[in-house]
Structure 1
Amino acid sequence: MRTIAAIGAVTGGVFLGGCGVPSANTGSVSPASAGASSEAAVPAEQKPAPSWGQRYTWKSGLAIELAEPVACKPSSYASPPNVERAVKVRFTIVNGTDKPYEAAALAFGNDVQFAGAKAEPIFDSGGSCGGGGLDAATVLPGKTYTYEQAYAVGKGKGELQIALQPDFASDKAVFVGQA
């Protein structure tokens, strides 16, 4: 049994080792609802993280914009319960590719942090924080899709970080700003 577990561990390590971790912020950053960025020639390690009101464009032409977070008050039926403070962020997907994009593939909910800790998404169909984020949607080439997601954050202002990745092969767009 130990031999099988050891072989599985080695094989799994080799398999996962080849996958690698996607890099972050290697696309271009520009003002929201703008054209191409002039930052394309800047090396990734020198590029600043995008923030609220900016557009991040992946090499494929798909882009994302995040609006500045706004306060919202979860209803008594919201999940998680007893949230000290909540903020709602508006996401806009801009499909600059030549193929339809399935918005549900945008992996955003598992990598949101506030002041260095996980920020929980809020599901609140009856309150001002909203129903809970992204619905399944097909975004045709040249079209946009907008949705909102609320997060439970700490009592005071702090840094909110939201990492988004449109597919497993693309880099992560890591938005950072005050909330």
Structure 2
Amino acid sequence: MSQPPYPPHQQPGYQQHPQQYTPQQQYGQQQYRQQQPYQQHAYPPPAPAPKRRRRVWPWVLLAVVMVPIIGFVGCTALLAGGVAAVDEARKGGTVALGDTFTYQSGLALNVAIPKPYRPDNQFELQRDEVGYETTVTITNGTDKPVGAALITKNATLNGQPAPELFGDGTLATQDIAPGQSLALPFRFKTADGARGPLQIAVTDTFNEPVFFNGNIG
């Protein structure tokens, strides 16, 4: 009996060759792949970025450094202002003999024009010396008592010291009440025949001196 024919792939000596596609078939396969729907995978949403914490220590350090500086500057300004006010209140000046100078505190000083003076004690002056006398008037325009003993006086003639002559009434220890005045004699001596600019300085306590200027001769 004759055997039925084998299918081509079962026939003896059959070798299966890899399938080859024409360019048209390859193009069709590429279209097919491109047309396949894209399957989007569901991913969890990204976690929010952590908030950046602000650095606090630079501000703390700045405050630690700046607060003392600002305080020092403020205290210095207040101190300077206070010192300036005190200096202005203590400020003296220069006026002519016979005029009145008034401090900011209200204390007023006046020195009259000097006149020749001859002391009762002949030994107070040498043969080549002459004496002069003036009146220093202290008017208390402040709200506190003023001690007359704290008022100092000195004189110069032609740039040379004119020594003070001490006698009755020249050393006063009275307290001058507010609104009251006290007149004190001030005596000094110079060389006989000396002429030129005369300056009498009067100072109250810790205030600056007041210079009263004039001439002799």
TM-score bracket for the superposition, by shorter chain length: 0.5 to 0.7
Cα distance, 1:143 vs structure 2: 0.5
1:34 counterpart residue number: none
1:56 counterpart residue number: 101
1:153 counterpart residue number: 190
CA distance in 2 between partners of 1:162 and 1:63 (Å): 15
1:105 counterpart residue number: 150
CA distance in 1 between partners of 2:155 and 2:169 (Å): 14
2:58 counterpart residue number: none
TM-score, normalisation: structure 1: 0.63
Mapped contact 1:78–1:122 kept (Cα < 8 A)? no
- The alpha-carbon distance between structure 1 residues 117 and 132, as it changes in their structure 2 partners (threshold 3 A), is farther
CA distance in 1 between partners of 2:128 and 2:185 (Å): 18
Q: Deviation string for 1:111-156 (max 9, x for gaps)?
A: 42111111111134xxxxxx26231111110000001121102323
Mapped contact 1:83–1:152 kept (Cα < 8 A)? no
Residue 134 (1) aligns with residue 171 (2): yes
Instruction: Give SS of 1:104's match.
Output: helix
TM-score, normalisation: structure 2: 0.53
Mapped contact 1:121–1:151 kept (Cα < 8 A)? yes
- The alpha-carbon distance between structure 1 residues 90 and 114, as it changes in their structure 2 partners (threshold 3 A), is same
2:200 counterpart residue number: 162
Residue ranges of structure 1 left out of the alignment (5+ in a row): 1-21, 28-43, 125-130
- The alpha-carbon distance between structure 1 residues 176 and 102, as it changes in their structure 2 partners (threshold 3 A), is same
Q: Deviation string for 1:37-80 (max 9, x for gaps)?
A: xxxxxxx7xxxx21121001111110110111011123344435
Mapped contact 2:157–2:190 kept (Cα < 8 A)? yes
CA distance in 1 between partners of 2:169 and 2:194 (Å): 23
User: Relative contact order (alpha carbons < 8 A, sep ≥ 6): 1 or 2 greater?
Assistant: 1
Greater fraction of residues in helix: 2
- The alpha-carbon distance between structure 1 residues 79 and 64, as it changes in their structure 2 partners (threshold 3 A), is same
Alignment length (residue pairs): 128
Superposition CA RMSD, Å: 2.4
CA distance in 2 between partners of 1:133 and 1:82 (Å): 23
- The alpha-carbon distance between structure 1 residues 123 and 165, as it changes in their structure 2 partners (threshold 3 A), is closer
CA distance in 2 between partners of 1:95 and 1:55 (Å): 13
